[in-house]
Structure 1
């Protein structure tokens, strides 16, 4: 773990067991999970919220990952963006151009209409912590009420994750994909 907290975790076998599922394919622990493990309550909250986001039954992986990557890019949370590119982007069917487009102004990439709504949702929540009536109406034409609620869950949870990642000073791990330098500062 590289950040503001000490690297040493409490010598607690239960904490180490709880961290086992949260590892990169090469075995390294996910930085955010390792950092919040300094607090059992924070670790339990993050585990529950992550399970809820990754298990959203009404959202497909592609929609979820576009939302996650956009939120992380907008907030400048390089570490979490790289983790999701490495662990979930291929499974979600995202190509390199789409992955990079999550870090650019939304007008640059020709997103499909339903994907563009997800990008816009992440942008509106990042910019104003709410959703405009216009966007809500557009989302309602494409997504069910359950899908909208699950999209909101994903976007707001990963906004929290991005804030935690940044506040904890978690730096990108070697070998993980990184957004462009401009995106690392957040999309304007």
Structure 2
């Protein structure tokens, strides 16, 4: 692993090693972000809790969640996290290759359903100004329940934080994983 810190820590205790075990790619490679954040137990615990909340603790379907994650990671140019989510969750979310690619392209792709396009726009607006316009809010309210809207905001803002951490730490996308299209505005 390369990045700005001197590589992943070698956890000094068995408890930390056990905490890191689940955070691996399907081929067994460890997820670099979790390893690096293990330098601080508080940071590791925060990421573990927030990730679990976004992946297991919400009612949003996997497709909606992953469109939100992939789009915010793409907008933030967090290729490492984008690639990990494509590898680990795109199939579960039933995203096509075109849809995955569209999360990293300029504008709102014409192939999105009206509901999916709202999720893309939400990630774009949060990335662009950390807020949601009245027009988008009205569209979300027409298509999603209040719970779903809150959960969409949770996912988008959590993965914006993850994208910032990934980029600040200089973590590269794992070798052999898809690469982010580089044609966002």
Superposed displacement of residue 31, structure 1? 1.3
Superposed displacement of residue 143, structure 1? 0.2
- In terms of mean alpha carbon deviation, does 56-65 or 148-157 score higher? 56-65
- Once residues 164 and 8 of structure 2 are traced to their aligned partners in structure 1, the CA distance between those partners, rounded to angstroms, is 22
- Once residues 39 and 76 of structure 1 are traced to their aligned partners in structure 2, the CA distance between those partners, rounded to angstroms, is 25
The correspondence of residues 1-188 of structure 1 with structure 2, limited to 5 A, is: 1-9=1-9, 10-180=11-181, 182-183=182-183, 187-188=184-185
TM-score normalized by the length of structure 2? 0.96
Check conservation: 2:8, 2:36, Cα contact below 8 A: no
Segments of 4+ in structure 1 off by > 4 A?
Answer: none
Check conservation: 2:62, 2:93, Cα contact below 8 A: yes
Superposed displacement of residue 15, structure 1? 1.1
Check conservation: 1:101, 1:109, Cα contact below 8 A: no
Check conservation: 1:67, 1:119, Cα contact below 8 A: yes
Unaligned runs of 5+ in 1: none
Superposed displacement of residue 105, structure 1? 1.6
Secondary structure, counterpart of 1:5 in structure 2 = coil
Secondary structure, counterpart of 1:172 in structure 2 = coil
Superposed displacement of residue 73, structure 1? 0.4
Secondary structure, counterpart of 1:111 in structure 2 = coil
Superposed displacement of residue 58, structure 1? 2.2
Check conservation: 1:3, 1:170, Cα contact below 8 A: yes
Could you give the per-residue CA deviations for residues 23-46 of structure 1, whole angstroms, max 9, x where no partner exists?
Answer: 001111111111111100000000
Shift of the 8–92 alpha-carbon distance from structure 1 to 2, 3 Å rule, reads closer
- Once residues 94 and 108 of structure 2 are traced to their aligned partners in structure 1, the CA distance between those partners, rounded to angstroms, is 21
Check conservation: 2:8, 2:32, Cα contact below 8 A: no
TM-score normalized by the length of structure 1? 0.94
